[in-house]
Structure 1
């Protein structure tokens, strides 16, 4: 199939980059004109729509109780549920980075949550080891509940996941190990605890684990962030859209574009000293048009020797950086 598509192209692409959840640098490269974009806007075959709601523990704490009840209702309808926690256990802060958030997302989360909340970050954080006994001893005591995280032996992780796939488990309490490569068509609901601790792309990626069958999906972002906080505004923005590109622009605004001329995928470190993608998007578009016109008239830059030198210098720097990594 790939060969058939390649044969149809008059000028085959040298590189094909595909992503279901664009990261800040990917979006920045499309804006800078470094990539031509083909967007697949239709939902993949066999997928169902996903509805997302924010459950605020600060303003409506009783809604969490209703969320657990709703999960039980899904199970009674022969469906399955994910409950996602940002870390494994209450006493291991390294779980945040190793098994929950990436370094960039951890920094972002700490910056966005309320100051009084961040002072009790460890205490406020849900974990798999806390949630599992709480749920199995109370609201889900009659359900088949499993737990999954990155610290389990590989054989045990595989056994738990396969049990969930075979519908031998109704509910899976898990960390973000399910973020990619998990396809359970019968899973229709996801409850993400402490959702304010996750980045935009990660929330979108997690949400994509449900609604993969004939039944629509329901995702709940449970958060203790205050109603007027940046974290809550971010969660509501993610809940309001399932458009990966729209969400990646939001992610881009918060995490910065990384190094468009290098390899860093997000963050403030960049070869660009003055230009910023969102702020200067119109200027970048104008520059792209000028560059396209110039190259159409002077493909080898023979009439623009100084520009040719600058391009060659950039290429040499890229080669040197590549060789250093080998």
Structure 2
């Protein structure tokens, strides 16, 4: 049948699952009206095969199921109308346009075309009957529609649709009619043979419709449904649920696959461990000891540990990582510690050098700044195994770096690295035939719901206790009208030989604008505080320059550091106990908490001043109050999730980790919370559904969890 395109034909009998999948997996250019160029445009929308069209949902709908009398039209509405051309003329004044007035028994309206052809003008001659659709607007001579969709009709022709008209996302050069026809073909081809991989108990428990019915409803909704009805429909909820489920199953699948890999057994004798703990200038907290116990249990097994350690700013994650490194070093394996910036890598270098001073394993440092002979010597020591403890930045995963016997990978602030970078570091262990254990650390508290989605493949440890002696940070909320008071406070603070941060934020995503704001603020503060040594750091500076400014600040060569949010992950400066955050209402609570964590690291009392712009909205006031009154990062993260929504947090904190076709993290949070139980049921009673669900939603997508 030509309807199905040049090379697609519907089977004469009902196909089996394999044949049905072959139909769904056919290239999209097998459909009628889709040539190679259109197929390339569809790829930009994530459409590669016929099945992909099923899950390319409309983002809105138009009602063309009934004809509106012209006399009933009002500005702002979109409507389907039928009328007879009463006059047609080209207006030469102003912007040249074709005006066509059509009317019915109830009134008339003008159609205006700024782009038109002579043939189009000839078509729209008086007496012609026209059906058109568009948005009604006020014009110079009454109501008008600019560039309506229209067609010439005969008197008895049916012009209405049986269902709401879908409006799909487009890309340049792709038309709605082309996409609608392609989707219609895909539905006709696939729906009769679409396998519903969700088991009946799940469908019944959540009152979900069958997959074919859900897709039919969303692509061709009935006229009585509003956009709100569709957004809240069981059909959309069912698809969001299945997409979340597919991602969760992929994570669990990766975790199971990981259990099949071989890893070195990492252990140290009691005397060795006691000597290390005794050499530390502080005692570990109960939370640190608990997490260390979990790590020791993992590393005593011969399959790889993949553990995420969450700990609030200052909770002591790094010394836990050092203890893990001790296990690897005692077992004669190499350790790689990777940090997102040279500044943070250097901080780890100092800490590890101090903690391992008596253990004959001086750390080796590798960053992009290391050049020439020194770099070559470092690479050789890593390759021959003489360098046991290697600390660095993303330079660790470059092709020129070869480990002799890598047993443990520690990744700090994991969300700052891409998936492929972490994969590359793991592959460095291949010469031994063993996979390294991995310890991933983050100071970014992750709400439980997000952790279930993002990190269900990881074993999770939480350091939920701060070391004794950490002084609480006093947080104040101050309107910008009191800026002079804040500047006076800075002057008084610095006179006492202390240091301070001034953090600039902008609501715009443009890094250039943020940096410009920081530069202007630095100039303003230099004028207001002429005796204060003021430094500036922002994201557009070269890494070496940025690190140089931060190191100079740490050495107290400057008193006040003006910065963008790049200092969110930075070095410890114990003498910096005052922070001013400008426009804090523009940041999420979790990011504010990260920034505040830069202070409160020394013996001095610490203060965080939130300098907001008046007037502050009610929601902004509530958010800043929550932040002022709470210091527990996990409580703040949950409140942030509640107030801003999941999508915004994932977008800013976990960019690039998980991409969804249909599911919306804010709208579909309720569905996400049901996924874990469904995954357990499928893994136990319906394992045959696991891979088809993953293939349907993820295809050949990157392996998120294999880091």
TM-score (norm 2): 0.34
CA displacement, residues 197-221 of structure 1 (integer Å, 9 cap, x when unaligned): 2222211111111111122321111
Identify the match of residue 450 of structure 2 among 20, 25, 28: 28
1:50, CA displacement in angstroms?
1.4
Once the two structures are TM-superposed, the CA of residue 20 in structure 1 deviates from its matched residue by 1.5
1:128 corresponds to which of 499, 518, 539: 518
What does residue 312 of structure 1 align with? 691
TM-aligned CA deviation for residue 84 of structure 1: 0.7
CA distance, structure 2, for counterparts of residue 275 and residue 187 of structure 1: 41
The 1-side partners of 2:549 and 2:600 are apart by 21
DSSP 3-state at the match of 1:16: strand
Per the alignment, in what secondary structure is the counterpart of residue 127 of structure 1?
A: helix
C-alpha change, 1:51 and 1:168, in structure 2 (3 Å) is same
Q: Is the 8 A contact 2:535 2:562 kept in 1?
A: yes
- In structure 1, the gaps of 5 or more residues are 88-92, 102-124
Counterpart of 2:308?
17
**Deviation, structure 1 residue 157:** 2.4
Give deviations 1:279-305, integer Å, cap 9, x for gaps.
679x74xx756876x69xxxx62xx23
8 Å Cα contact 1:190/1:210 also seen in 2: yes
2:511 matched residue in structure 1 = 98
> Which structure is higher in RCO with an 8 Å CA cutoff and minimum separation 6?
1
| Cα gap change, 1:270 to 1:50, in 2 (>3 Å) | farther
Tell me the alpha carbon deviations over residues 237-293 of structure 1, each in whole angstroms, 9 at most, x when there is no partner: 12221211111112223443348xx9856999763699744x679x74xx756876x
Of 266, 271, 283, the residue aligned with 2:663 is 271
Q: Secondary structure of the residue that 1:230 maps to in structure 2?
A: helix
Aligned residue in 2 for 1:8: 297
Tell me the residue number matched to 2:487.
68
Q: Of 476, 483, 507, which aligns to 1:53?
A: 476
Which has the larger Rg? 2
Alpha-carbon separation, structure 1, partners of 2:610 and 2:568: 15
Equivalent-residue separation in structure 2 for 1:65 and 1:309 (angstroms):
68
Instruction: State which of 137, 154, 159 in structure 1 corresponds to 2:527.
Output: 137
Instruction: Give the superposition deviation at 1:318.
Output: 4.5
Q: Deviations over 1:130-157 (max 9, x none)?
A: 221221112x211111111123344432
Task: Tell me which of 588, 592, 596 is aligned to 1:199.
Answer: 588
Q: Secondary structure in 2 aligned to 1:196?
A: helix
Question: Structure 2: 5+ residue runs without aligned partners?
Answer: 1-265, 269-292, 310-441
Quote how far apart the aligned CAs of 1:16 are.
1.1
Matches within 5 A, 1:167-206: 167-206=556-595
Alpha-carbon displacement from aligned partner over 1:53-82 (angstroms, at most 9, x marks no partner): 11123xxx23x2222222222212221000
* Distance in 2 separating the partners of 1:173 and 1:69: 16
User: Is the partner of 2:604 in helix, strand or coil?
Assistant: coil
Q: Which moved more, 1:145-154 or 1:30-39?
A: 30-39
Question: Do the aligned partners of residues 311 and 232 (structure 1) sit closer, same or farther apart at CA in structure 2, a change above 3 Å counting?
Answer: same
Contact 1:30 1:37 in 2 (8 A): no
Distance (whole Å) between structure 2 residues aligned to residue 273 and residue 135 of structure 1: 41
Distance 1:20 1:49 in 2: 17
| Separation in 2, partners of 1:220, 1:321 | 44
Whether the 8 Å CA contact 1:56–1:225 is kept in 2: the answer is yes
Q: Check whether the contact 1:189–1:210 (CA below 8 A) recurs between aligned residues.
A: yes
Number of residues paired by the alignment?
274
Q: 1:319 to 1:33 in 2, by over 3 A?
A: same
- 1:39 maps onto 2:429 in alignment: no
Structure (1/2) with the larger strand percentage:
2
Distance change in 2, residues 1:3/1:220 (3 Å) = farther
Q: Distance in 1 between matches of 2:492 and 2:591?
A: 26
Instruction: Quote the Cα distance in structure 1 between the aligned partners of 2:644 and 2:525.
Output: 35
Q: What is the TM-score with the length of structure 1 in the denominator?
A: 0.68
- Residue 100 of structure 1 and its aligned partner are, at CA, apart by 8.4
The verdict on how the C-alpha distance between 1:150 and 1:310 changes in structure 2, with shifts beyond 3 A counting, is same
TM-align CA RMSD: 3.9
1:201-216 equivalences under 5 Å are 201-216=590-605
Residues in 2 aligned to 1:174 and 1:142: alpha-carbon distance in whole angstroms: 19
Corresponding residue to 2:628 among 200, 217, 239: 239
